[in-house]
Amino acid sequence: MTAEGKTAASQFLALTADYLTGGYRRPHALGFEGDVFLAGPLTGTENGEAGDALNNSPKREADSLEKVAEEVQRCAGCRLCEKRTRSVAGEGVREPLVLVVGEGPGADEDAAGRPFVGKAGQLLDRMLASIGLSRQKNCYIANVVKCRPPQNRDPAPDEIVSCSRFLSRQIALLKPKVIFCAGRIAAQTILHTATGIGSLRGHFEEYSTGGVFNETDRITTGIAAFRIPLLATYHPSALLRNEDLKRPAWEDLKLLRSRLAELDSIYARETAEQP
């Protein structure tokens, strides 16, 4: 089978798996002529016994971050598996205030198997720390694609399509209070748009699975729904290349801090105690 054939077969299998786990796909604006999946997939936990009884189907096994990580580790869903050293599922706390989403692993992350550990990652950590956030305490950090694109190129639309099912499951499992997108690719992928980062940043958008928000319908149809505030800013790598972007990025961080203070009294108390 040709490389293109393998990719197409893999995407078909991914679509089928998403369908079977209750996900759905929506039109994507990044140039791929298919759809990208970023829905709230059903799990045993999400769907619950009531949903399974109503659907007259066997109870599904509960999803977990560990399962996502295991699947990412052995995934050959797109061509990025061919040159990776290690896949990078993500890391952080289980019930994060903030899910930080980047583009994909770079060389340092590929070697370490951890997200955002190179120079850009160190800057990201400092940015988060400036508003009382960290991956050790109250954040989870993941990427749109879990394997390194060669030569640090942008992930291709078909690679994003193949990999997005992992991010959607992570969002459903983590249920962060806010999604913070580091850079254009993450924001465009999650928001299903081709709008540039200059226009996407500076205000809150909303991540929505498009599922039903009525609890009775949710149990009947089994489609879980999430609405999560989403803020995008420039990727830390862009800030390292262009000092002029640091001021608007700081404005974005202040916006994030304000929203978290509104949403979470614990966060407000912790950050108020900072020097």
In the complex, the residues that contact ligand SF4 under the rule CB under 6 A are 72, 75-78, 80-81, 87, 145-147, 159, 162-163
Q: How far apart are CA 161 and CA 164, in angstroms?
A: 5
Q: How far is the CB of 190 from ligand SF4 (least distance, A)?
A: 15
Q: How far is the CB of 173 from ligand SF4 (least distance, A)?
A: 16
For residue 107 the two structure tokens come to 């060389």
Residue 76 sits at the vertex; the CA angle it makes with 73 and 79, to the nearest 5 degrees, is 120
Residue 155 DSSP class: P
Q: What is the DSSP string of 48-108?
A: HHHHHHHHT-PPPPPP-HHHHHHHHHH--SSGGGTT-SS----EE-SS-SEEEEES---HH
Is residue 179 helix, strand or coil?
strand
Nearer CB in complex with ligand SF4: 97/156: 156
Nearer CB in complex with ligand SF4: 85/208: 85
Nearer CB in complex with ligand SF4: 87/168: 87
Nearer CB in complex with ligand SF4: 3/272: 3
Q: How far is the CB of 147 from ligand SF4 (least distance, A)?
A: 3
Q: How far is the CB of 72 from ligand SF4 (least distance, A)?
A: 5
* Widest pairwise Cα distance in the chain: 60
Count of alpha carbons within 13 Å of 3, Cβ hemisphere only?
Answer: 7
Nearer CB in complex with ligand SF4: 90/96: 90
Nearer CB in complex with ligand SF4: 87/188: 87
Q: How far is the CB of 7 from ligand SF4 (least distance, A)?
A: 9
Q: How far is the CB of 145 from ligand SF4 (least distance, A)?
A: 4
Cβ(210)–Cβ(24) below 8 Å: yes
Is residue 234 helix, strand or coil?
coil
Nearer CB in complex with ligand SF4: 75/181: 75
Q: How far is the CB of 251 from ligand SF4 (least distance, A)?
A: 32
Question: From the CA atom positions of the chain, what is the Rg in Å?
Answer: 18
Q: How far is the CB of 17 from ligand SF4 (least distance, A)?
A: 12
Q: Which residues neighbour 198 within 8 Å (Cβ) at sequence distance 6 or greater?
A: none
Nearer CB in complex with ligand SF4: 80/171: 80
- Going from the C-alpha of 164 to that of each of 90, 101, 143, 192, the distances in angstroms are 13, 12, 9, 12
The phi and psi torsions of 131 (rounded to 5 degrees) equal -120, 25
